[in-house]
């Protein structure tokens, strides 16, 4: 049997990051920069007012209150601001360019708000409420390095430096296929012996939750030809493929039968999720993950192997730091030599994380998974974990 980390390493070493694309900014959420973004100009680009108020010469306010004539209004977006001279004020709005000659802004709250003349009640130092050109970002600065995962704030930053398109690794497109004669679509009626297909919905959502774009294919039965056909039909539009079911030791384990060759089937020292398969398929060498059918096995396999792989496909470090150390509320025993993932409820109290293992730990028991928010990880060398001991917990998205 292979260890979890050996299996993950063999997957990661076979992956090549997705080729970069040039995308318009609105399409770029969740993609990863392949080139740094550099500010071509300073931000702010010009000295401007930080408040709605009056642009003044600070020296005029040495004795307050003082009344000054207001020579004009300067709005945000005004192209050139007329200057002022000592003894004068100009009404100015937040973001409007500072007029020549002024060296301070007095907020409207410190005045009577006058339009022809203004009475100012407080003095101000030179520079008061002025946002200087370049005080946010200087021209030529790398505002985002290559390898940055683009979220809302990063997309805002790119727009703020005037860039409309970016060169990025896109979110991986991942096809999900459930196999099994017993599977029916949710929303239909079951005969005895049938169940509703849950894995394909769960895994498609897990892909999207992990930063990819999941596409669910219609379920196929345990039919070698149909399984192959469904996979090969879709190869050209996939960056990766996930199947569920048909990979253990049963008489109808068709996925294993038809994909042996491009896919290497292995037993991994973990619970749940022992039967695993991974390979590169078709002329495009698309990564394919063949996950076990038991829903909790499928889910844990996804989090353990597929999620890091999707990050690697975008050129990101494969593991994100979603792990915390928590205190166990109950004893856990775990088979020696296996990595054991137990469903649990994680909370934070008295300055530390606490985790309670669910009582139902069967690999078919979706009920416990659906209300869990963490996977307790009992390492290969941790056979007995008494209540009160510290364990690693993988926080679930």
Stretch that binds Mg ion, among 108-116, 177-185, 341-349, 357-365 (CB under 5 A): 177-185
Site for Mg ion in 216-245 (CB under 5 A): 245
Nearer to ligand AMP, 156 or 218 (CB): 218
Stretch that binds Mg ion, among 46-54, 176-184, 203-211, 343-351 (CB under 5 A): 176-184
Burial 216-229 (b: 16+ CB within 10 A, else e): bbebbebeeeebbe
The torsion angle over the Cα atoms of residues 28, 29, 30 and 31, rounded to 10 degrees, is 10
- Alpha-carbon distance of 163 to 151, in angstroms, equals 16
183 binds, among Mg ion, ligand AMP, none (CB under 5 to 8 A by kind): ligand AMP
DSSP bridge partners of 165: 24
8 phi/psi in degrees, rounded to 5: -65, -45
- For residues 385 and 334, is the Cβ–Cβ distance under 8 A? yes
Query: Least distance (Å) from ligand AMP to the CB of residue 200?
Result: 6
Query: Least distance (Å) from ligand AMP to the CB of residue 349?
Result: 35
363 binds, among ligand AMP, Mg ion, none (CB under 5 to 8 A by kind): none
- Alpha-carbon distance of 284 to 177, in angstroms, equals 19
- If one counts every other C-beta atom within 10 angstroms of the C-beta of residue 71, the result is 16
Contact partners, residue 123, CB within 8 Å, separation at least 6: 58, 61, 62, 63, 64
Per rule CB under 5 A, count of chain residues that contact Mg ion = 4
Q: Which of 99, 170, 180, 315 binds Mg ion (CB under 5 A)?
A: 180
- If one counts every other C-beta atom within 10 angstroms of the C-beta of residue 156, the result is 10
What single-letter DSSP state applies at residue 212?
Answer: S
Query: Least distance (Å) from ligand AMP to the CB of residue 366?
Result: 8
361 binds, among Mg ion, ligand AMP, none (CB under 5 to 8 A by kind): none
Query: Least distance (Å) from Mg ion to the CB of residue 222?
Result: 6
111 binds, among ligand AMP, Mg ion, none (CB under 5 to 8 A by kind): none
- Name which of 25, 287, 26 is nearest 172 in CA terms: 287
Query: Least distance (Å) from Mg ion to the CB of residue 364?
Result: 12
Query: Least distance (Å) from ligand AMP to the CB of residue 188?
Result: 14
Binding-site ranges for ligand AMP (CB under 6 A): 178, 180, 182-183, 195, 197-200, 244-248, 250, 292-295
Nearer to ligand AMP, 123 or 200 (CB): 200
- Name which of 249, 271, 287, 252 is nearest 339 in CA terms: 271
Nearer to ligand AMP, 197 or 239 (CB): 197
- For residues 238 and 285, is the Cβ–Cβ distance under 8 A? no
388 binds, among Mg ion, ligand AMP, none (CB under 5 to 8 A by kind): none
Q: E strand or H helix at 378, and its extent?
A: strand 374-378
Query: Least distance (Å) from Mg ion to the CB of residue 210?
Result: 24
Binding site for Mg ion (CB under 5 A): 180, 245-246, 293
């Amino acid at each position: 049997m292979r260890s979890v980390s050996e299996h993950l390493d063999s997957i990661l070493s076979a992956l090549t990051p997705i080729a970069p694309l040039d995308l318009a900014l609105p399409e770029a959420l969740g993609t990863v920069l392949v080139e740094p973004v550099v500010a071509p100009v300073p931000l702010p680009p010009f000295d401007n007012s930080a408040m709605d108020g009056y642009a003044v010469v600070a020296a005029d306010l040495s004795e307050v209150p003082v009344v000054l004539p207001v020579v004009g209004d300067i709005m945000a977006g005004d192209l050139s601001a007329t200057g002022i001279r000592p003894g004068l004020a100009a009404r100015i709005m937040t973001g409007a360019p500072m007029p020549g000659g002024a060296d301070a802004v007095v907020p409207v709250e410190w005045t009577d708000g006058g339009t022809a003349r203004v009475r100012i009640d407080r003095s101000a130092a030179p520079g008061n409420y002025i946002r200087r050109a370049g005080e946010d970002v200087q021209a030529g600065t790398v505002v985002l390095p290559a390898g940055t995962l683009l979220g809302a704030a990063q997309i805002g930053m790119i727009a703020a430096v005037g860039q409309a398109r970016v060169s990025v690794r896109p979110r991986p497109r991942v096809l999900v296929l459930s196999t099994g004669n017993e599977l029916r679509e949710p929303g239909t009626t079951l005969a005895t012996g049938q169940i509703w297909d849950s894995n394909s919905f769960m895994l498609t959502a897990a892909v999207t939750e992990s930063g990819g774009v999941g596409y669910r294919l219609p379920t196929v039965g345990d039919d070698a030809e149909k399984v192959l056909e469904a996979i090969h039909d879709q190869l050209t539009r996939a960056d990766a493929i996930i199947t569920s079911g048909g990979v253990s030791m049963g008489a109808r384990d068709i996925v294993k039968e038809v994909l042996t060759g491009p896919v290497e089937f292995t037993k991994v020292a973990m619970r749940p999720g022992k039967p695993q398969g991974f390979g590169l398929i078709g002329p495009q060498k698309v990564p394919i993950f063949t996950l076990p059918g038991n829903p909790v096995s499928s889910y844990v396999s996804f989090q353990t192997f597929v999620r890091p792989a999707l990050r690697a496909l975008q050129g990101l470090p494969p593991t994100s730091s979603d792990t915390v150390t928590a205190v166990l509320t109950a004893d856990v025993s775990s088979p020696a030599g296996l990595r054991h993932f137990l469903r649990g409820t994680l909370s934070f109290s008295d300055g530390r994380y606490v985790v309670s293992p669910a009582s139902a730990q069967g690999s078919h028991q979706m009920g416990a998974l659906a209300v869990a928010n963490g996977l307790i990880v009992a390492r290969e060398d941790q056979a007995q974990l008494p209540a009160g001991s510290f364990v690693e917990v993988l926080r679930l998205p």
